[in-house]
Every structure is written in C-alpha cells, then in structure tokens.
Structure 1
C-alpha cells in the first residue's frame, strides 16, 4: 500500500540521520554469556532499584505506625491491578519487537512499539477513573478495618491519579529492553529512585503530609522517569522508532500484541486478586496480622524482582533467536538463564531464613508484628527456590509467542493453586493457614513449570536439525513468517 511505502521511507530516512554509535548491542552476538549478562545485569539493577524504592517507602511509612503500613499494604493490590495493564501491553510489545527484529523487520517492530504506547494512555486513564470512583467499596471488600480505611483512602486518592504515568513508564521500559537498551531503562529507574528517596522524608515529615506525602513523592518520581523516556523516543536513541505516524490500529497487529500480553495482564490481575484475598484473610485476625503479612510480601517481592530482572534481560535475545528461526541459540540462552535464576532464588531463600528477624525489624518496631512477620516470612520462603524455574519458563514462553502455555504456568502461583488454598487453609488451621497457602502455591507452580520446561527443551532439540538443514540450503529469508505459535 502507498501509505506503508511512504511510512517506510520516513523511517529509513530517520534512521539514516542517527549516528551509528547510538545503536545498541548486537542481539545476534554469538558470545551468549557476555551478551546476556550485559543485558540482564542492568535489568536486575533496575528492578532491584524498584524493590528498594518500595522498601524505602515502607520504612518511612512504617515509622508512622502499624496502621499506616497496613494501609499502604492494603493499597498494593489496587496498584498491582493498574500496573497489570501496563505489564500486559509491555510483555506483548516486547515479544513483538524482539521477534520482528530477529526477522530483520525493524519497520514492523516500530509500528508495534508506537501502537502500544498509543493504546496505553487511554487505558490508564479509564482504569484510574474507574478505580477512584469505587475506591471505598474496594477497600471495604478487602476487609479494611475502620481504623485503617481513612489512611488507605488518603494514600490511594493521591497516588492513583499518577498511575497512568506508571503504566506508560512500564510499557516504555519494556520497549527499551526489547531492543537491547536495558541500561537506559536502569538509569530511568535509578533517577526515579533517587528523587523518591530525597522527597519521601521532605513530604512525609518536614511538610507533615504523612502517607499522602509518600504517595506524592512517588508521583513526582514517575514524572521524572517519563520525562527521560520522552527524550529517549523523541531523539530516536532506540533501534525502533516511536512516532505518531507509526501508530497502526490494524486488527491483526493489535491482536498479536494482545494475544501475548493478555496472559501477563491476567497474571497481574490474579496477583492483585490474590493479594486482596491474602490481606482479607489476614484482616480477620487483626491489624497487626495485616501489617505482618504486608512485611512478608514486601520481603518476598524484593527477592522476586532480581530473578525477574534476569528473565527480562534474556527476553530480547530469546525473542530475537526465535524470530531468526535459530532453536539451538534459544536453547543455549534458556539453559544459561535457568542456571542464573535458580541460583538467585535459592540463595535469596537461604538468606531470608538466616536473617529474617533483622529484615523484619527494618519495617516495624512492634514486638507482636515482628513475631508474626518472622513466622510468615519463613513459611513464604520455604519453596521460593522454585520461583527461578517458574519465572524463567513464563518469560521464555512469552518470548516465543506461546501465549496459552505461558498462561498455564503463570496462572498457577497466584491463581488456580493459591486462591482455593487461601480460602480454605485458614478455615482449617487459622492464621498459619494463611502463610501455608502461599507456600503450597509456590511449590505447585514450580513443579508445573518444571514439567513444561522439560517439554519445551525437548521440542527445541527436535528443531535443531531442521534449522541446520535450512542453513545449509540457504533457505531462510527475511520474508519467512515469524513463528507465533
């Protein structure tokens, strides 16, 4: 079509105007361990910074008392629900970009990135308005106590209007990482963290805004991160080009983005619902139990983010190899990344077991909250070592475009294993059942991921001879269809 040819000429002319030194690392680099570490380490640092930001907020808010940290913890499922849309769009877009870059189609990758950001903004606004209108009802449904409810409303009412920025930051980060620029994503997160760290004590204590100050500091830091991404896209520092002219509302293109992203969105929504059920189950036993579970969840999240960071770092290389129809490369990447994520998750689990009490004390000086949180943390981390398998397998399936199978793996941990457990275990064994439900789901999800992983590895091995034959015959061309099975 004429308009597509014109658009392609614009993209090529834009690309020619950008110096070669601004390009990112070569995703086809054969030195895989070096390539993966260069991509993954900035992702790990970036997401670890995100965890530290949550930790810092929790420490500052925790100094306001158990009710304040309980209120912020009760708000987390609502924020996760909003972020679910961003993560789903981001995962679908990252898979789309990396596979099309692997096939040598930068124009299509640019259209996917531009379309994703164009869809993210109105989705964020609509969700924000809906949540604000029903916020009180949501907190009541979560089982928020009368003492926590006004504090939770203060915090969420300030934080939610800035959540569209958070959503756009999430999608922008996925785009940058999908094209190999994990360093820029890391610097954006680091800038937001430093600003948040500086503003928290000013807003919370100096201006005496309390939890509202913590929310306001988070919004300002999100504005700063979004400003960096705007500069990144405007100056064309990436391999793909985000332009209004590249936005495409073609059903097949949006459908491809949605088919990969939908399971990721659903997983995040399940995570939010699971959090609501978890805090609701804890709320039946009192405010201290809600605060303790909130602490245990935060410590668990801190360990999960570096593992997730390594997985995200490998996503571009996995998708690129799959788009280039190179199953041998995909298998080598998978084995290397699996060894890293397993080592991280088992090491963190052991570290929490050894240092659980001083870790909990960072969040609360209440003896009762500390005792409950210590026991909860230990049970939560009993099978956390298996998270390395579950997280990597989900990422691998998303990178290869296997949406339905990724859903089977990702839904287990927060969905069809956890939810029945958290609804039934506390009825049988009281508060200890709340913690046990988390451990049960972690164990079951790890076993399911292991089974799926072994089958995927076998399938990749079967594809290696066919790939070698195609290379010998010189039959692989840029016009071949990208596998999206």
Structure 2
C-alpha cells in the first residue's frame, strides 16, 4: 500500500494541464464539460416537456421552484469552484497529496451543509413558495415537486463537488459520462413515473432524485477504484485552517452570484404574479431557455479554468492571454448564435414547452426579450472566469453581481409599476445589456494588463 507522501499515478483519462497546444488543450477539457452541462440542461428541458402536457398550473409549479433550485445549487457551485481551483493549483505545483486533502475536506463539508439546508427548507417550504408567488392553484403541485426534490439535495450537492474534483484533475470525460447516464435514466423514468404511475409533478422530481443516486454511485466507484490522481479518504479530512480558507475565499463569490440568481428569479416571479398564472408559466419557460443557453458557456469556462489558473500560477502570461482569447471567441460565438436562434424561432420552441395557446402567446414575446442581448453573456462569463483564476476577487464580484444583482434588482422593482408586464421584460433585457457592456470594458482592461506583463521580447506561445 502506498504511503500518503507518495506520488499518485495518472490514469489515461487524465489530461496534462501543461500541454503546449492551448486551443487543443482547452477543447479537450471543455468539450466533455460542455456536453455534460448541456445534458443537464436538456434534462430540465425534457422534464418541462413532460410536465407541460399536464397543465399550465403544473409547469408554473415547477417553474416557480426554480429560485429554490438556484439557491441550493449556488452552494454547490461555490464549494465546487473553490475546490476545483485548490485541486488544480496544487496539482500544477506537483502536490497531489494536498489536492487530495482539499478534495476530501470539501466533500466532508458538503454533506452537513446539504442536510441542514434540506431541513430548513422542508420546515418552511409552504411559506417560501408563497413568497415566490405561488397562488392557491399552483401551491399543491409546487409542494409535491419541491418537497420530493429536496430529499435528494445532499446527493445533488455532493455530485456537484465530485464533478468539480474530477474535472479539476483533467478527467472531464468521466464527469460527462456520469451526467449522460443520469440524463438517460431521468428521461426513461419521467414518462413512467409521471404518467404510468400517475405521480404527476412528484414523478418528475422523483425521476431526478433517482438519477442523482445513480450519479453518486458512479462517483463513489471512481474514487474507490482510484481512477484519478486525487484520493478521497477520511484521514485527509481537515475542516479548518488555510485549506478551507482558500476554498471558501475562491468559492464565496460564486455562491453569492448563485444566490443573487435565486433572488432575481424570486423578484421576477413576484413581478409576473399579478398578471396571472399564464404569465408566471411564460416567464418560467423563458428562464428555462436562458438556463439552457448559459450552461454550455459555463461548461466551456469550467473546463478551461484549470488552464487559466495553471498558466497564471506558472506566471506564463502569454499562455494565459492566449487561453482567454480562445475562450472568448468560442463563448461569444455560441451566445450570439443561441440568442439569434431563440429570437427567430421563439414560437416553435415555446410550443414544445406548453400546449396552452394563452401561455404560448405571452411566452413568445418573453423569450425574445429575455434573449435579445444574450450574445453578451459569453463575454460576461469569460471575464468572470479570468478574474477568479487570477485571484482578483473584488473585480470578479463587481462583474458577477451586475447581471442579476445591482443592475437587475432596481429595474425589476421599479419598471413593472411603470410599464406593467412589459416592465418585467425590459428589466431583464436592460440588465443583460448593461452588464454585458461592463464586461466588455473589464475584459479589454484585462487583456491590456496581460500584455503589459509579457516580456519585452515576443513569446513563442503568443499567437
């Protein structure tokens, strides 16, 4: 048996972060992450299709729980981002033992957090849903869906951290196949539980829960069989000291951003509630499409973040600049294309998600407005990833909190009182536009700073 201080062997699936071909390295790391997170979005899309055939109240009930899901996943995102940064930086420094200790500590931290949040939300779920704007007609279905989903939250949280660890060590393919397996099981169980067993929206939540159990089993096997570089062991757990501080410092902005997303959706649904259940359902459809569009960009950045952090830590600024430029070009191309597709084909897309003509009429204009300036989202997420990788927490917070924080919140509180439901739509579009322009300004400055850090003679890695 190997001692704790011995170096750990790298399996074939591991991709070296020191690979000299930066675009190829990013593609190899990012594509599995993009596919995995896109599959996750597709899972939500498939759930919406099945639930949408039940009734407008059913899809409104599922949609109105989205802020709760965002709030809970933001915790996983924070722990995951902090853990991934810790793991990749230590692997880059050749310290796989410290990477393993950080990973083990993060997973140990995730479990009690998940249980505590589950208990708190279950005890106050009706009040929370009422705060979100659930009407008397929506409340029963919303309670069924949310309460069932909450029982699996600790598994979902652990799986987010597991996935971050696996991706940080270069095994993005395993994370991808785990998500694909979970999606396939979810899609198989949805019609059985929703219709055959007549469980309705509770069946959709139960299908998600069972798919997460399958994902957890795969990650457990991965670590038990020592398929990667990182080892997860009880003896490595230490929930105090500099290790946890590092994970928390990097992960906190990601968690706050996710919480702001949840608050933003709370305000969005509350603003839409006075205009009826059809308006809530329409906003839910548009918000779900936004999520689908953001996840591939997030996958690109999550898969590429290790390259940025590795290059910055090695003080290879030419490589960091080249990586960021490649990420930006891909992210902007995708976000602009997705924006155009939704705006042009809004009606047929909406018809997939709702059989109600009344909901569809509202949802078409809602989807168009929500995605009008989505092309700028690619710039926003790339610059946030750059700043997190470079350790610039304050500036990262300024950009992160703009889109659904200090720009969106004042708009959604004021504009609906002035322009009615159109004010709801304008709030989202205006926040997206201004946040995107802010990100453009910041990323230009960041590229300038990286250029200033380059040596006076041209670097062979710069292209």
- TM-score tier (shorter): over 0.9
**How many angstroms apart in 2 are the aligned matches of 1:461 and 1:101?**
27
Contact 1:99 1:322 in 2 (8 A): no
Which of 225, 229, 240 is residue 239 of structure 1 equivalent to? 229
Contact 1:23 1:239 in 2 (8 A): no
Contact 1:349 1:385 in 2 (8 A): yes
Contact 1:57 1:214 in 2 (8 A): yes
State yes or no: 1:301 paired with 2:291: yes
Q: How does 1:26-425 map to 2 (within 5 A)?
A: 26-425=16-415
TM-score (norm 2): 0.96
TM-score (norm 1): 0.92
Secondary structure at 1:341 match in 2: helix
C-alpha distance after superposition, 1:30-75 (max 9, x if no partner): 1111111111111111111001000000000001110000000111
Structure 1 gaps, min length 5: 1-6, 470-485
**How many angstroms apart in 1 are the aligned matches of 2:453 and 2:279?**
51
Structure 2 partner of 1:12:
6
C-alpha distance after superposition, 1:123-172 (max 9, x if no partner): 01001101111111111111211100111011111110101100011111
Change (3 A) 1:183 1:11: farther
Quote the offset at 1:321 in angstroms.
Answer: 1.1
Moved more, 192-201 or 445-454: 445-454
Change (3 A) 1:363 1:414: same
Contact 2:11 2:228 in 1 (8 A): no
- Structure 1 runs of 4+ with >4 Å offset: 466-469
Quote the offset at 1:8 in angstroms.
Answer: 9.6
**How many angstroms apart in 2 are the aligned matches of 1:321 and 1:180?**
15
**How many angstroms apart in 2 are the aligned matches of 1:389 and 1:8?**
45
Quote the offset at 1:102 in angstroms.
Answer: 2.1
Structure 2 partner of 1:476:
none
**How many angstroms apart in 1 are the aligned matches of 2:288 and 2:51?**
13
Structure 2 partner of 1:481:
none
Structure 2 gaps, min length 5: none
Contact 2:13 2:170 in 1 (8 A): no
Structure 2 partner of 1:24:
14
C-alpha distance after superposition, 1:298-336 (max 9, x if no partner): 111111111111111111111111222211111110000
Secondary structure at 1:12 match in 2: coil
Change (3 A) 1:322 1:9: farther
Secondary structure at 2:191 match in 1: helix
Secondary structure at 2:199 match in 1: coil
**How many angstroms apart in 1 are the aligned matches of 2:208 and 2:183?**
9
Contact 1:260 1:402 in 2 (8 A): no
Q: How does 1:465-480 map to 2 (within 5 A)?
A: 465=455
- Number of residue-to-residue matches in the alignment: 459
Secondary structure at 1:10 match in 2: coil
Contact 2:36 2:175 in 1 (8 A): yes
Alignment root-mean-square deviation, CA? 1.7
Quote the offset at 1:23 in angstroms.
Answer: 5.4
**How many angstroms apart in 1 are the aligned matches of 2:457 and 2:97?**
25
Contact 2:60 2:284 in 1 (8 A): yes
**How many angstroms apart in 2 are the aligned matches of 1:232 and 1:22?**
14
Contact 2:89 2:310 in 1 (8 A): yes
Quote the offset at 1:104 in angstroms.
Answer: 2.3
Contact 1:311 1:395 in 2 (8 A): yes
**How many angstroms apart in 1 are the aligned matches of 2:133 and 2:5?**
53
**How many angstroms apart in 2 are the aligned matches of 1:182 and 1:311?**
12
Quote the offset at 1:202 in angstroms.
Answer: 0.4
Secondary structure at 2:4 match in 1: helix
Quote the offset at 1:11 in angstroms.
Answer: 4.6
Quote the offset at 1:249 in angstroms.
Answer: 2.4
